[in-house]
Structure 1
Amino acid sequence: MHIHFIAIGGSAMHNLAIALHKKGYKVTGSDDEIFEPSRSRLEKYGLLPAQTGWQPELISQKPDVIILGMHAHPDNPELKQAQELGLKIYSYPEYLYEQTKNKTRVVIGGSHGKTTITSIVMHVLKFNQLDFDYMVGANLEGFDTMVSLKEDTKIAVFEGDEYLSSPIDRRPKFHLYHPHIALLSGIAWDHINVFPTFENYVEQFQIFADGVEENGALIYFEGDENLRRIAGQSRNDIDKLPYSEHESVVEDGITYLKFNDREIRLHVFGDHNLQNIAGAKLVCSKVGISDEQFYRAMTSFKGAARRLEVLSENEKTTVFYDFAHSPSKLKATTAAVKKQFDNRQLVAVMELHTYSSLKKEFLPQYGGCMDEADEAFVFFNPKTIEHKRLTPISKEEVAAAFSKPELHVFTDPTELFDLLRQKDWQNKNLLIMTSGNFSGQNLKEFAIGLTGNPIRFGNEKWIKQQGTTMN
């Protein structure tokens, strides 16, 4: 079978291309720009297009399947050629369903936490030597790619994104997966460019719940009133399983899960992660994982990439990086770090980078989301606003929206990071939150410069003690 990717360079698209190549399909693709790490990964498998740009002549070969990426536009010349030839055109999520329609599909959705929950489920299954298909939106330790599809697996685990499927298919991706086991972690308004009202956004999660297969299961965080309502309105032929935070205890800055008379030491922390773990445990139970198997696996789970990732650390300071950008994510992440290290001051720095976060009408949603920080800094680049064709915003408007006294707002990244370098970091933690890179800053290099240590302090302590937690 010949599969052609229009916009093969995307983060999700190139991973799917590699997965299908590994499965034995003939894979070709094109794109008008391909950046790292997509370029190197495609080149490694012989899938990097020979030239940059759209090539309608490739479509004349009549591939069996066209997979259309979001990066392409509706007037893409390759897409037009495929439509004229009457070729079968799939969106990315449509084809994932096509590949797994005879398997048990597990789909993790929600405005926040879905990557981490998916990562936990994948880690536990792999730890217990269960093979499965998967798609996740982050690079995970122990997994070569973000997508895997095989012939002989019986389970597929997908991170369920609510963003649009393709330029010509305006349905949210997670509507197309039809899960047997579904999880919803929470709803906090996002993607304002696509879902202009909160009510319209919530409706997408109800549609997702309605798409659960007959006799399936809907697992949901019971602390979210919208999810409680969605569960109450969902069909009676599916199991409805609420979850909250997993019981735990914090000792000397380390979080332990409580399980019967034992305490299981974790690499991760925070109320939101305790919620994620509780939800993932229910999912794992549904696919046949015992409690003992789950907790043994959790002793080695180190978190998803870019989710409270430690960039550098010494005895007095830890520099965290987190992908957080929406108000709910900022609030949860800031509170988690402050609670875990209550003996240290917290300096929080975030970048307004996404379409929603830079939209003037959306800014008030950030009110109070960094209140837990002892010092707070916000950066935005006016050129990014101009590029996204949004209404300009001012430093004063950003400060007023966050409603935190003495919030510092910057539009010059050099000025911001020079100021941070000059601070006294004794008994202080730094939390950097962004889905971008502060207009080209090398965050890893910056973090090492603050602490002088690129390796997480305390790994040796973990290795010596972890064997005593599970016998």
Structure 2
Amino acid sequence: MHIHIPGICGTFMGSLALLARELGHRVTGSDSNVYPPMSTLLEAHGIDPGHGFDAAHLDPAPDLVVIGNALSRGNVEVEAVLDRRIPYTSGPRWLFDNLLCHRRVLAVAGTHGKTTTAAMLAWILEREGHAPGFLIGGVPGNFSMSARAGEPGGFFVIEADEYDTAFFDKRSKFVHYGPEVALLNNLEFDHADIFDDLAAIERQFHHLVRTVPGNGRLLVAADEPALDRVLARGCWTPVERFGSAPQAAWQLEASAGGFTAIVAGQHYPVGWTLSGEHNRRNGLAAMAAAAAVGISPQAAARALQAFRPPRRRQELRGRVNGIEVIDDFAHHPTAIALTLEGLRAERPQARLIAVIEPRSNTMKLGAMKARLPGSVASADRVWWYQPPGLGWQVEEVARDCPVPASACADSAALIEALAEETGPGDRIVIMSNGGFDNIHERLLVALRERYPQQTEDGEA
């Protein structure tokens, strides 16, 4: 079957394209925002991500068009599909009908940490010999792809996103997945472009809860009031809690170089190199979800010791003259704060410089603007970048920051300023949910030009 996927470079749709290709379909695609790592991942698997939308991409007509949720009425390919009566569906619906209905699905939901926690869970299952299928919104460090089909009847780990499904289906994606195990990691307001308030998101999370069978399992964070309200709407599935609250079955105890999971009075230490309390919580959640399908805490702890985070999650892109350039996907105030707090705790004496591009749909609307200044308190210096289409001026946030902050609308000028003001031992963390004009590699080039006698590790 020939499947065409408009919006193919989105993390979900790109991963779906890899699955369709693995299942034997011919896959083509198109997108207006083509950038790594998804574009290079698709090309590596023989899928052309296309450049721009064009009705000619539908000549001759494909057997099926799987339409991404980033596409709306008015898009030339959407209009051509409707005008020509070409069969179409949404990504989540295609995924369930062609793959998930034949798998034991473990769904990881929450405002933050979905990608990392799903990657942890998939890796635990992998290390225990289950060879799970998975679809993760990033490229996990322990795997070479963001998605694979797995075997019929086997486990499938999916990052369960609350964003809407398609222009013709405004339900959250995760209501299509039919999980045996659902992990609810946290919940706060986000996606202001489609949700009016937190209550609207809670309603969608309860729709997910309604789909989990009575012989399945819900793993729920113990210290999240919004998730308590979700369960209060009704629950028909056994629930296990994880976190630091007294009623949690899975307790977290932080330790230097990792954490300890405490279950039924037993202690299971995990040693790793990840920074931040949020990653410890993600690890605990993954252990609890793995236990729900029979993986012992000891085995899960061993697997996590070899876990490598997904790309763009505190990913070190390079080091020049002792200056580190780190890439991170954080784009919500809570995620920004947690990331910076983790990096600060990891190396308290290092100068920490945050470079932030507020480019998500929620950020463009300004819904989180008031919370942004406080989110950077753990940094020593902040640069706010003004992307095209932002509905407000980043200077407004820079003025209110508790640490020295500047605003810039020119990526070249920003790179020049960073190269000039940084020195050995500094850590530059660049935060964006987009390509950010390839600023990471361009900054590394600028640093190499500034310090031509230095090697990548900073030694002459």
TM > 0.5:
yes
- In 1: Cα distance, 2:431 partner to 2:162 partner: 22
Alignment of 1:216-255 (within 5 A): 216-244=216-244, 246-250=252-256, 254-255=257-258
Following TM superposition, by how much is the alpha carbon of 1:5 offset from its aligned partner in structure 2, in angstroms?
3.2
Aligned runs of 1:29-108 on 2, under 5 Å? 29-31=28-30, 33=32, 35-37=34-36, 41-42=41-42, 45-48=45-48, 53-55=54-56, 56-59=58-61, 63=63, 65-75=64-74, 79=78, 88-98=87-97, 99-108=99-108
With over 3 angstroms needed to count, the CA separation of the structure-2 counterparts of 1:236 and 1:168, relative to structure 1, is: closer
Please report how far the alpha carbon of residue 314 of structure 1 lies from its aligned counterpart in structure 2 after TM superposition. 7.9
User: Percent of aligned pairs with the same residue?
Assistant: 22
Q: Output the TM-score relative to the length of structure 1.
A: 0.82
Q: 2:295 aligns with which of 281, 285, 289?
A: 289
**Higher alpha-carbon deviation: 303-312 or 321-330:** 303-312
Which residue pairs with 1:20 in the alignment? 20
Cα distance in 1 for partners of 2:23, 2:322 equals 48
CA RMSD of aligned residues (A): 3.2
CA distance in 2, matches of 1:188, 1:205: 11
Structure 2: runs of 5 or more not aligned: 245-250
Return the offset for 1:176: 1.5
Stretch deviating more after TM superposition (306-315 or 122-131): 306-315
The answer as to 2:337 corresponding to 1:331 is yes
Q: Matched residues in 2 for 1:201 and 1:141: separation?
A: 30
Contact (CA 8 Å) 1:379, 1:438: kept in 2 or not?
no
Partners of 2:192 and 2:393 in 1: how far apart? 17
Alpha-carbon spacing, 1:333–1:263, altered in 2? closer, same or farther (3 Å): same
Kindly state the Cα deviation for residue 159 of structure 1 after the two structures are TM-superposed. Answer: 0.2
Asked if the contact 1:311/1:444 (under 8 Å) is kept, the reply is no
Relative distance call for 1:214 and 1:66 in structure 2 (3 A) is farther
Question: What displacement does 1:202 show?
Answer: 3.1
Asked if structure 1 preserves the Cα contact closer than 8 Å seen for 2:9 and 2:49, the reply is no
Contact map agreement 2:327 2:440 (CA 8 A) in 1: no
Q: Counterpart of 1:377 in 2: which secondary structure?
A: strand
1:411 to 385, 409, 412: 409
Partner of 1:465: none
Distance 2:172 2:50 in 1: 32
Q: Provide, for residues 182-211 of structure 1, a one-character-per-residue CA deviation record: whole Å limited to 9, x for no partner.
A: 111212322111113233233322322233
Change (3 A) 1:365 1:158: same
Structure 1 residues 213, 319: closer, same or farther in 2, change over 3 A? Answer: same
Matched letter for residue 294 of structure 2: G
Maintained 8 Å contact 1:112/1:186: yes
- For 2:439, what is the secondary structure of its paired residue? coil
Cα pair distance change 1:365/1:264, threshold 3 Å: closer
Task: Describe how 1:281-430 pairs up with structure 2 within 5 A.
Answer: 281-313=287-319, 318-381=324-387, 383-385=388-390, 390=391, 392-393=392-393, 395=395, 397-400=396-399, 402-423=400-421, 425-430=423-428
Q: CA separation in 1, counterparts of 2:353 and 2:83?
A: 56
Contact 1:3 1:67 in 2 (8 A): yes
**Partner in structure 2 of residue 146 of structure 1:** 146
Which has the larger displacement, 340-349 or 155-164? Answer: 340-349
Partner of 2:174: 174
TM-score by length of 2: 0.84
**CA drift at 1:137:** 0.5
3-state secondary structure, aligned to 2:307: coil
Determine the C-alpha separation between the residues in 2 that align with 1:40 and 1:430: 25
The count of residues paired between Structure 1 and Structure 2 equals 442
1:433 match: 431
- Aligned pairs (5 A) from 1:454-469: 454=456
Question: Gaps (5+ residues) in structure 1?
Answer: 458-471
Instruction: Give the secondary-structure state (helix, strand or coil) at the position aligned to 1:368.
Output: helix
Deviating more after overlay: 311-320 vs 428-437: 311-320
Q: d(CA) in 1 for partners of 2:455 and 2:397?
A: 34
Identify if the C-alpha distance between structure 1 residues 213 and 116 changes in structure 2 by more than 3 Å, giving closer, same or farther: same
Matched ranges for 1:159-198 at <5 A: 159-198=159-198
Q: In the TM superposition, what are the counterparts of 1:119-130 in structure 2 within 5 Å?
A: 119-130=119-130
Query: Following TM superposition, by how much is the alpha carbon of 1:267 offset from its aligned partner in structure 2, in angstroms?
Result: 2.2
